[in-house]
Amino acid sequence: MNSTPIAPSTPDVHHETSLAHFPVALFSTVMGIAGLALAWQKAAHVLGWSGLVGQGLAALAGLVFLVVAGFYGTKLLRHWAAARAEAAHPVKMNFVPAISIGILLLATAWGRMAPEVASWMWGLGAALHLVFTLRTMSAWIHHTHFEIQHLNPAWFIPVVGNIIVPLAGVRFAPAEVSWFFFSIGLVFWIVLFAIVMYRLFFHAPLALRLTPTLFILLAPPSVGFVAYTGLSGGLDAFGRVLYYTALFLGLLFASNALRFFRVPFFVSAWAYSFPLAALTVATLTMAELSGLPAFRLLGAALVLTTSGVIALLGALTVRAALRGEICRAE
């Protein structure tokens, strides 16, 4: 009788291998959908559109978070070494804080639907993001293997992402807490913006799969404008500077739309989603504060555009997942 051990079935081996390559960047799907929920909620307030869409998208964002967190949590348990390697990678490490940003955006989107739950989520997200910020900044300062080609707009996520905290923080915590996080995000946005521009202007172009991350440049001034006007209580000169910086970047990327259309689908394409949603919310906020009809029209157009982009990204992500193109070695 043959006593040779039976090897594990190929499907099981493939499943385990795929799980080891489950990308933390998929948490950006939560950011995009939650951002779209906020855009529709703002449209309901400013434009009088149905509020049900925003509520439905907020619920969908929560469901997507649970699914992605479930898979990533399983990866942490079964493939700890792979998760640690991802967290130490000079590019991938910057997507880890997408976890805490996703929680913060869910708290913001659920603020009126489930305020008690949202309050706890905001506290968890803010604390976790501060930990991620300290860890990432320490890694940058004491690095041994970072080079200029590793730099891309995704580096904004860990530190500049603090600017998202005040969106719900103005409701759930003393104002000084929100000003603390806002200050971190704003100051390091200016610092990193200059460094990223230097890298883009004077060094080799971004790798093709990282090209969509250019849209991340849109997020800080857009979110910063919404956060600042919420903290300051109105529209002033500095608020206008933030908004018009975001609007210029939006025009810049719109004028280069064909370049982005030519980029094949990667998970990094979700970098289009939240920045577009942030610009949409900022524009609707500008419409509300300025009273100018032009911003209402632009805001409405951006809501529809962002909805179409995120619907397309969702379809492409499902197709890529079914083809086994998401969880594989790069």
What token pair was written down for 164? 């998202």
Is 244 part of any domain? yes
Q: Does the residue 112 lie in any domain?
A: yes
Distance CA 19, CA 77 (A): 11
Residue 132: Cβ within 10 Å count: 24
pLDDT of residue 13: 45
Q: What would the DSSP string read from start to end of 199-241?
A: HHHHSPPPPGGGGGGGGGGGHHHHHHHHHHHHHHSS--HHHHH
Q: Helices 293-322 and 273-290: crossing angle, nearest 10°?
A: 160
Is residue 328 domain-resident? no
**Token reading at 235:** 């529209």
| Structural domain includes residue 198 | yes
pLDDT confidence of residue 147: 85
- The CATH number of residue 66's host domain is 1.50.10.150
Q: Is 194 a domain residue?
A: yes
Task: Determine the Cα–Cα distance for residues 270 and 34; give it in Å rounded to an integer.
Answer: 12
**Does 8 reside within a domain?**
no
Q: Residue type for 56, please? A: G
Pairwise CA distance, residues 327 & 191, whole Å: 34
Domain that holds residue 146: 17-322
What pLDDT sits at residue 15? 55
Residues of the chain with pLDDT under 70: 1-17, 330
Note the pTM of the prediction, 2 decimals: 0.93
Does residue 11 fall inside a structural domain?
no
Does residue 7 belong to any structural domain of this protein?
no
* Structural domain count, the chain: 1
